Structure 1
Amino acid sequence: MRLEMRTCFGAALFLGIVCAIYWFWSNEDTGTACLLFSFCAYALMGSYFFLQWRRRKGVPRPEDRDDADMNDGEGEIGFFPAASIWPFGIGLGGIFLAIGLIYGMWFLVIGGVFVVGSVIGFVVEAEAREEGPADPGMPITTTGDNPPVTSFQVPSSHSQGA
């Protein structure tokens, strides 16, 4: 996070200086506002990276260390649903929202319903994944007299109240 943090804070510093010079030189409001919002955006990203670095208590990631090799960065990165219909719903809702700006309020309502429903579905799909092998339906255990259990039959941690 250190490299990202320094890059964002450097860009924020540059944009802040340019914003001040631009405002004093041109006294124009629109360009000054754009530069000011750009400064704020980079400062916000830099602050986020700083807080992530502080949360890790200054322990560098493998990407930040000069002596790291490829094996230091291995492991699970995260869960990303491979085949999902929800991004299509978000895009369709965005189209309806854009059409609603032109043709009327009722398109905005339809687009809002599509976007909100699809975002909720996408979040629920990512959170409700089954714990088990990477290939759903493959046997997890085959012990003794019990038939093989598949990952479809294993309850997730969310359904157990944990």
Structure 2
Amino acid sequence: MKYQGKMFLWLSVFLLVMAIVYGVWAKEAAGTTALFMAFGLSVMIGFYLAFTARRADTGAQDREDADVADDAGELGFFSPHSWQPLMLAIGGALGFLGIIFGWWLLYFSAPVILVALFGWVFEYYRGADQRY
């Protein structure tokens, strides 16, 4: 993850330079805003990957002497049958429809989003903080 974090941080430097050049040269607000937002997102992803790389074990992609087969196997635990992402997507869709059709629709989407987030975060907590 160390290389991916550095890659996104270098990408953010490139996007910042391009956003400034584009903003000065083109004087167009939409493209300049999009480039600055891409810069911000790239910084967030790069910071997260760099921060996580410090706490995680060194992966095969971070070693010079690693083979392709060294990275085989399980990569983590992924929930096989969770309904929470679908509920979160429905709540998010209702929220964006509320922006389009009327803010009153957010009163219906906010509880769906909150229940879906709560369910997704605490999906595997039962009893005395049971994991599986």
Structure 1 unmatched ranges of 5 or more? 130-155
Asked if the contact 1:12/1:42 (under 8 Å) is kept, the reply is yes
Counterpart of 1:113 (choices 111, 114, 117) is 111
Question: Taking structure 1 as reference, are residues 12 and 115 closer, same or farther at Cα in structure 2, changes over 3 Å only?
Answer: same
Per the normalisation by structure 2, the TM-score is 0.75
Structure 2 unmatched ranges of 5 or more? none
Task: Give the secondary structure class of the aligned counterpart of 1:125.
Answer: coil
Aligned residues: 129
Question: Taking structure 1 as reference, are residues 81 and 53 closer, same or farther at Cα in structure 2, changes over 3 Å only?
Answer: closer
Q: Which position in structure 1 is the counterpart of 2:34?
A: 34
Task: Report the AA paired with residue 13 of structure 2.
Answer: L
* C-alpha deviation, 1:71, in angstroms: 4.7
Q: Which structure carries more relative contact order (alpha carbon 8 Å, separation 6+)? A: 2
Q: Which position in structure 2 is the counterpart of 1:47?
A: 47
Q: Which position in structure 2 is the counterpart of 1:95?
A: 93
Question: Taking structure 1 as reference, are residues 86 and 51 closer, same or farther at Cα in structure 2, changes over 3 Å only?
Answer: closer
* C-alpha deviation, 1:81, in angstroms: 2.3
Q: Single out whichever of 109-118 and 27-36 deviates more from structure 2.
A: 27-36
Distance (whole Å) between structure 2 residues aligned to residue 12 and residue 23 of structure 1 = 16
Per the normalisation by structure 1, the TM-score is 0.64
Task: Report the AA paired with residue 158 of structure 1.
Answer: D
Q: Which has the higher helix share?
A: 2
Percent of aligned pairs with the same amino acid: 28
Larger gyration radius, structure 1 or structure 2: 1
